[in-house]
Chain A
Amino acid sequence: MKYAYFPGCKIPHHLPEYGASVEAVCKALDIELVPLEFNCCGWPVRHENELASIFSAVRNLAVAEKAGLPIFTPCKCCFGNLKYAQSRLAEDEQLSIQVESLLAQDGLALPKSMNVYHMLTILDEQVGAELLHRQTANSLEGVKVACHYGCHALRPGNVTGFDDPMAPTVFERIMHAIGAEPVDWDLRLECCGYPLRGRDDTISEALMRKKLEDAASVGADVVATACTYCQLQFDKERDGLVYSDPLRKAPPAVLVSQILGIALGLDPKALGLDMNCIPWHGPGF
């Protein structure tokens, strides 16, 4: 299994623990990640201009195609925008022509195959529950995990094709495979609120609060995330709350790669667990 690794913009500075844990887990699972010089996925700039956003996304697809590799990304917003750009190209020929001429300036051609996968899909379809189960050295039995799906991979379902947008199961399957116990919770598919950071912090915080309180109410031990932005919200931004805020006591947010890494028996430090602001005191470490 060999993929072009697309970490996205936020991992290097804002969430290096995600990069570290993804690389460690992939190494343990024999997934080869090839670093290419990608640019921004185009999601952040979509608030400013759609063409800029789509060109950014398609340029990445073209870079990956040139290298002959499918894209592997751990970020749902990156995944979502790369898929969105594809769907826009498919429905709008004029846009395709425009993007093609922009690509030509960089010596790139309009990509054809455009294979983009989110990490969860790779873990579920390529690695598979059985192998994950066999590789589990440190079973997470009894750990109640609230899987947080993240919006941009899930919806719009006809664009992203990630999982059933109304009743997804991929995340729970993976957690189940390593012995953890996924819990059912009402706000499983709701937004983390991070996209509103800097635009409307009040509502952003309200969304986070509501969601984490819901996870706490069903007795979850951790909220599992599989998206850079969601983790930034539930960990780094939550850490900005006043010290006495009870929300700090709500289940900590842990990256899917960190949970998997623990299950696979990897070193917690290599998984960047010491960098999480709201710590997880899990089993066996």
Chain B
Amino acid sequence: MIFFDIGLTLALSICVIGIVYRVARWSGKWTSRTPHLSSGFFLWIVRAVKAVILDVLFLARSGRTSFLRWLAHSLVFFGFMGLLLFHAMDETVTATFFPFYESTLDPWQFLRNLFGAMTLVGLALMVYRRVRSTKLRLLTHFQDWAALLIIGCILLSGFLLEASKIMSPAVFDRMTDEYFVPGEVGDLTALKAYWAHEYGVVFSVEYPRDEETLELGASLDEDSCVDCHASTATAFVSRPLATALGPVAFALNTSRADQVFWYFHVIFCFIALAALPFGKFFHPVSTPINLVARQGRRDDLEEFQPSDVLRGVGMDACTRCGECSLHCSVAPAFTVLGNQNILPSEKLVSLKQFQTGEQMSQASLTAFSEGSRICTECLRCTDLCPSGINLQDLWIASKAQITKRAPSPNDLLRKKTAAQRARVFDDLCKSSSILPAVAGLADDSASYWACVQCTTCTSVCPVVAVCEDPSRDLDLLPQQIMNLLRMGLKEETLGARMVWSCTTCYKCQEHCPQNIRVADVLYELRNTVAARVRDGGASCEGNGESL
């Protein structure tokens, strides 16, 4: 038992220290909106109780997006909780409530198998769900498989342990040595015959199976065993498993497989306990807290602004189920651009790193910033999240902070002087991107052959019209940009504020007497810079301002 005690102490210590560390980081490094939690205390309690019953116990939020996910999670949740409380903690929980508890009696033996089977079926459904959808498979990382694997191993080793005990003559001998006093010669043989026949013990020798012996065995069993042993038939998984292992029973019994599987079972349980504070393993703790704090809300109203700590709880409550990313409004942008930070579940990983002050490379910050910028705040992820995370608030509250660390091209040039702006994007490599960013109008001087520099585009431009001194405020005017492009001087136009202050009203294009697609071209110029920034903004030889 030294092994067990040391292992438990070790796992528990890692678990407790990890939880303390994780909880301590909940407050994050937010610099925005002040929290606002309205509604009175009484109402809060009522809503919290409702959230515990509906969202925590019955996983109501999971059912909204996918019945399969709800079923899988419910099976694992109820199955595993049953095993945890009534099997793993049987001495403290079950024995307290049921003084005559014996793990080998019914209903415990039956329930253990039932809970175990439920968990295994649930896990199998979870694996199926992740494998079936291509999109979800791409979003499934190490920790997702690890969680399924560890819980799966606990269950499998548990069933193997029970099966190996059922068939083990050594375990039988240990019990009879302790609890059985044979009255006459032949009693033990009769009992063994009966147990081999009824309980599935596999002895190394064949015992007689005649009616008389079995009857004697049955009465001895009645006297000495049944008080603590229900028929193994109710172990509806382990007993058939023991039967299936029949051909190798002898090898298993002689190598004391029951002891080997016990070690496996206990070690996997310790691994799971120690892993609890890491990654998504923490969600059984953080998600219920978040669900209670959110009280069933699916929106992000101003009257319910979360505190920084609750934001931390929310970020930790992610189970990485991927529902948000499967339904994300801007997922098509991810399909094209390949930046995982566009998808909510993946952006959340970056946000957590960002807020807990972890080191992030400039490339990951740039990708994170683009993901944050592309989000349209459509609320869908927040509405769907089975863990009730207020993602909308997290996105909105973090946008300005991220831009400070990894500015968008637009932010970048606003801070520069006129001279710097002319060269601001010079040292970004020409995009090596395989994606054609644009229609290619800007690079094709034929697009401007018809331009007669009539200045119609500039004179109808509402942006030019509201500027006191357009050349000073916008660097270049629309017709000047067209002229530079006509001469193949695209690089000279990229930093001009006119390009970035275009309001996309299309008046220039509509009014152009020569049908030049002025507004479309300005879009293209912005796309060109965005592609270069996306490709890493690597420094090329040049005199410009570095990102």
Contacts and interface: CB of A to CB of B under 8 A. Distances in A.
Interface of A: 9-10, 12-14, 37-40, 42, 44-52, 55-56, 59, 88, 92, 102, 105-106, 151-152, 154-157, 165-166, 190-191, 193, 195-196, 199-200, 203-204, 206-207, 210
A193 B503 contact: yes
A155 B392 CA distance: 32
Given A44-B376, A207-B466, A102 B336 contact: yes
For the residues of B in contact with A, the DSSP-based class is: helix
A203 B330 CA distance: 28
Interface stretch (B176-184, B213-221, B377-385, B480-488): B377-385
A191 B503 contact: yes
A24 B336 CA distance: 37
B64 to A, nearest CB: 13
A92 B441 CA distance: 12
Nearest to B335: A102
A155 B379 contact: no
A12 B370 CA distance: 23
Interface stretch (B9-17, B359-367, B505-513): B505-513
Contact of B523 (A47, A157, A166, A203): A47
Interface of B: 134, 299-300, 327-333, 335-337, 370, 373-374, 376-380, 383, 392, 410, 414, 435-439, 462-463, 465-467, 497, 500-501, 503-507, 509-510, 517, 519, 523-524, 526-527, 530-531, 534
Contacts of B376: 9-10, 40, 44
A248 B369 CA distance: 34
Contacts of B380: 12
Given A55-B336, A207-B466, A47 B526 contact: yes
Contacts of A51: 336, 435-437
A197 B379 CA distance: 19
Contacts of A44: 374, 376
A191 B465 CA distance: 12
Nearest to A92: B439
Given A151-B504, A156-B509, A196-B501, 16 more contacts: A12-B379, A13-B300, A40-B329, A55-B336, A59-B332, A92-B439, A151-B503, A154-B506, A155-B506, A156-B510, A156-B517, A195-B504, A199-B410, A203-B466, A203-B467, A210-B465
Given A10-B378, A155-B510, A196-B503, A39 B331 contact: yes
Contact of A9 (B378, B466, B517, B534): B378
Contacts of A48: 333, 337, 370, 373-374, 526-527, 530, 534
Nearest to A200: B501
